[in-house]
């Protein structure tokens, strides 16, 4: 191993799926043979030019990649500091970054000979992307979604149904993403021989965190090239919202070994970090534990029972975070900060009014951090914000809070 | 195996083997429906016919459990159950029973947060004989399995229909006490396996290990227990027992009928196990 490799932040995980103490494979024995098979199948696919070629071709004509890197000139002027660029993942087919991962995983599921797809979803973006690729490739699709989320993300539920998926509302717990993931795991244990579990974020047992990161790294790889073309240099600051953390690891990973690029992940601060169980900021308000197949930072009580957490954004309303983010947090390479529901709502409205772009409430957390930081930075400094999803799905939620009856 | 000290599990299973019958392994959730009733149930199990006790450590997110044990965990946590209380109940049970093997079963996070070294030491001191931790496959043996063995606590592994001849040696490495064969693909308390499939699977596992094989998942009645007992070293029953707790409650609270509801079912299951090889 040469010096450059040893100093890299990009070589993880190890062969057992560990990023430092985080990651791993904490699953029921029933699933282990399949998890090991998945690991081998993914390693083979990753090295297969035909697999990568098919994915690239689909991205070009089906997803609409590369997604643009847009200079938000009016927002930059409005804030009076750094130049802000938006990586326009919200323009992808299905309206978010989730399609990047789903296309990769459906090709893998087909390669493995699986005949049925299951997925969990919070905001419904991953559920819609899963249902979409299942329609495109002719697979039956069943999506587990917390009953609370079914209620607050109705447009996405209907989209999934139109795409031919069956949506199972999950009433256990608080009826949010954590409970949906439990139920998807129960389905998987029951139907492991036929079923491919399409996990939507860079979490779960190895190889999911690394695999989902790899599929999402197309975001950061494009951003690098586009930024070099636009400005002739790398950005000073990259910002992304973090729930499970797939859009964030996707844009962060290609920049991890560029020491001059500061990287900030924005967690859901909910009602505020001082409110017990009132936020979904695992790194800022949790501690390491084991859930859903990996060790990572979790919101939990003193007895190791998992808390539900809260966020205005269904996609960030999860008590854990991908294990690589936990490692990047502890290693100090990435800084993770919270943004409250109110800050996200304000950012949602600002971006909509100033740039004519309605962001997803998830992505609005990243915009909120840019709004805080840009005025403190010089005019020749550059921020890139990953605009991971569009906000059409959130207009009912936002309308309700603003007192508008839709 | 022979180098390990003789445990309550080994002693009990050797005795049953000499009697020529299968073991009844009963699962109840610690703290369900409340701490006092749970301790009364625990103390009543051996007298009702339980040969080995699995005591569930409740967890907020029991990923491999069906609705009955999910609900039992929620009841226990709502009543204020903690790991400290679970270990206290084991200690209280041991004051009156130094022979019946007791195995703690659950998920890793509450143990991890309690602290692994502290947990294995406190569990051993309280009188725990073995551990079954659903989300710790052999790939993660350094976490808890090896510290438990070092402390003299057996680590009991789940074998499943997906455990093929390549996988079985991996999962049997470092396992002791007995093997718990999960006889169907799925969560607890839903489906049950056909007796013929059980016989084949038990024979396959026994080709890889001298350990006794207990079979569970979906066993609800004495007759079902008898069918399984004909082909296995023991029968595990859990969801049916926590459902008996549930059905005895009024407004979510224990009643005078709660302990008896469990012991009546245990007695029926014990009779079934005893006629299994008759």
pLDDT above 50: residue A271: yes
Separation between Cα atoms, residue A306 and residue A309, nearest integer Å:
9
Interface test with B, best of A24, A27, A28, A170 (most B CBs within 10 A): A28
The gap between the terminal CA atoms of chain A, to the nearest Å, is 60
Are A304 and B139 in contact (CB < 8 Å)? no
Q: Which residues of A touch B114 (CB under 8 A)?
A: 303-304
Provide the sign of the torsion angle of the four alpha carbons A13, A14, A17, A21, taken in this order: negative
Q: How far is CA B21 from CA A383, B8, B183, B232, B263, in A?
A: 72, 17, 20, 9, 20
Which pLDDT value is given to residue A6?
Answer: 54
**What are A46-90's pLDDT values in tens digits?**
999 999 999 999 999 999 999 999 999 999 999 999 999 999 999
- Pairing label, strands A69-71, A83-88: antiparallel
**ipTM here:** 0.95
Residue-range domain boundaries for chain B: 8-275
Domains of chain A: 18-60+98-207 (3.40.50.1100), 65-95+217-402 (3.40.50.1100)
Task: Judge if pTM exceeds 0.80.
Answer: yes
Kindly list the averaged pLDDT for each block of 10 residues, start to end, along chain B of length 278: 73 96 98 98 98 98 94 97 98 98 98 98 98 97 97 97 95 96 89 86 96 94 95 96 98 97 98 89
Taking only residues 9 to 48 of chain B, the set having a beta carbon closer than 8 angstroms to any beta carbon of chain A reads none
Q: Which fold has domain B8-275?
A: TIM Barrel (3.20.20)
Are A293 and B135 in contact (CB < 8 Å)? yes
* Cβ atoms of A88 and A355 closer than 8 Å: no
- Pairing label, strands B102-106, B52-56: parallel
DSSP string, A169-227: EE-STTSSHHHHHHHHHHHHHHSTTTEEE---SS-SSTTHHHHHHHHHTHHHHHHHHHH
**Nearest-by-CA chain A residue for B183:** A30
**What are A105-154's pLDDT values in tens digits?**
999 999 999 999 999 998 899 999 999 999 999 999 999 999 988 987 88
Q: How far is CA A278 from CA A78, A244, A312, B114, in A?
A: 32, 17, 10, 24
Interface test with A, best of B108, B135, B167, B188 (most A CBs within 10 A): B135
Are B110 and A186 in contact (CB < 8 Å)? no
Which pLDDT value is given to residue B4?
Answer: 58
Are A302 and B113 in contact (CB < 8 Å)? yes
Which pLDDT value is given to residue B207?
Answer: 97
């Amino acid at each position: 191993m040469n010096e450059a490799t040893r100093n890299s932040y990009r070589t993880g995980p190890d062969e057992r799926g560990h990023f430092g103490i985080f990651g791993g494979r904490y699953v029921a024995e029933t699933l282990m043979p399949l998890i090991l098979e998945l690991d081998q199948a993914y390693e083979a696919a990753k090295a297969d030019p035909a697999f990568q070629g098919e994915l690239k071709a689909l991205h070009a004509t089906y997803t609409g990649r590369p997604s643009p890197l847009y200079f938000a000139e009016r927002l930059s002027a409005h804030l009076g500091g750094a130049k802000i660029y938006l990586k326009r993942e919200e323009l992808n087919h299905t309206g978010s970054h989730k399609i990047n991962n789903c296309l990769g995983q459906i090709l893998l599921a087909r390669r493995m000979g699986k005949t049925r797809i299951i997925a969990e979803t919070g905001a419904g973006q991953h559920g819609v992307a899963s249902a979409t690729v299942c329609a495109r490739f002719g697979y039956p699709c069943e999506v587990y979604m917390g009953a609370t989320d079914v209620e607050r993300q109705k447009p996405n539920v209907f989209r999934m149904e139109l795409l031919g998926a069956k949506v199972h509302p999950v009433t256990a717990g608080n009826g949010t993403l954590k409970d949906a993931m439990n139920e998807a795991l129960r389905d998987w244990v029951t139907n492991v021989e036929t079923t491919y579990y399409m996990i939507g974020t860079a979490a779960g047992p190895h190889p999911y965190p690394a695999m989902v990161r790899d599929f999402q790294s197309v975001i950061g790889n494009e951003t690098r090239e586009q930024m070099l073309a636009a400005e002739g240099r790398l950005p000073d600051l990259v910002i992304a919202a973090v729930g499970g953390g797939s859009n964030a690891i996707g844009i962060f990973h290609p920049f991890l070994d560029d020491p001059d690029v500061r990287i900030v992940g924005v967690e859901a601060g909910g009602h505020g970090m001082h409110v017990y169980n009132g936020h979904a900021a695992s790194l800022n308000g949790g501690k390491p534990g084991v859930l859903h197949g990996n060790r990572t930072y979790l919101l939990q009580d003193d007895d190791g029972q998992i808390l539900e957490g809260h966020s205005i954004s269904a996609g960030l309303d999860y008590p854990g975070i991908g294990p690589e983010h936990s490692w990047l947090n502890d290693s100090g390479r990435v800084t993770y900060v919270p943004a409250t529901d109110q800050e996200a709502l304000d950012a949602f409205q600002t971006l909509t009014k100033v740039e004519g772009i309605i962001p997803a409430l998830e992505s609005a957390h990243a915009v909120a951090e840019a709004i805080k930081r840009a005025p403190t930075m010089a005019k020749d400094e550059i921020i890139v914000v990953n605009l991971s999803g569009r906000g059409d799905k959130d207009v009912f939620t936002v309308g309700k809070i603003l007192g508008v009856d839709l | 195996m022979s180098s390990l000290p003789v445990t309550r599990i080994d002693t009990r299973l050797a005795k049953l083997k000499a009697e020529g019958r299968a073991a009844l392994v009963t699962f109840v959730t610690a703290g369900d429906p409340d701490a006092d009733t749970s301790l009364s149930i625990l103390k009543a199990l051996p007298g009702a016919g339980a040969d080995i006790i699995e005591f569930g450590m409740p967890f907020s997110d029991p990923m491999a459990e069906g609705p009955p044990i999910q609900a039992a965990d929620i009841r226990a946590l709502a009543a204020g159950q903690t790991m400290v209380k679970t270990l206290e109940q084991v200690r209280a049970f041991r004051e009156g029973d130094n022979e019946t093997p007791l195995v703690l079963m659950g998920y890793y996070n509450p143990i991890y947060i309690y602290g692994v070294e502290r947990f294995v030491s406190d569990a051993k001191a309280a009188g725990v004989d073995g551990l079954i931790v659903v989300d710790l496959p052999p790939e993660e043996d350094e976490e808890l399995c090896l510290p438990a063995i070092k402390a003299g606590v057996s680590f009991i592994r789940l074998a499943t229909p997906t455990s093929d001849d390549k996988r079985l040696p991996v999962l049997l490495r470092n396992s002791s006490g007995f093997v718990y064969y999960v006889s169907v693909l799925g969560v607890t308390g839903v489906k049950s396996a056909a007796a013929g499939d059980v016989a084949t699977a038990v024979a396959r596992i026994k080709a890889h290990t001298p350990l006794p094989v207990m079979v569970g998942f979906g066993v609800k009645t004495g007759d079902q227990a008898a069918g399984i007992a004909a082909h296995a070293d023991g029968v595990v029953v859990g969801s049916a027992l926590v459902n008996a707790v549930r059905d005895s409650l009024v407004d979510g609270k224990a009643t005078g009928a709660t302990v008896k509801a469990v012991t009546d079912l245990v007695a029926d299951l014990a009779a079934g196990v005893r006629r299994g090889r008759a």
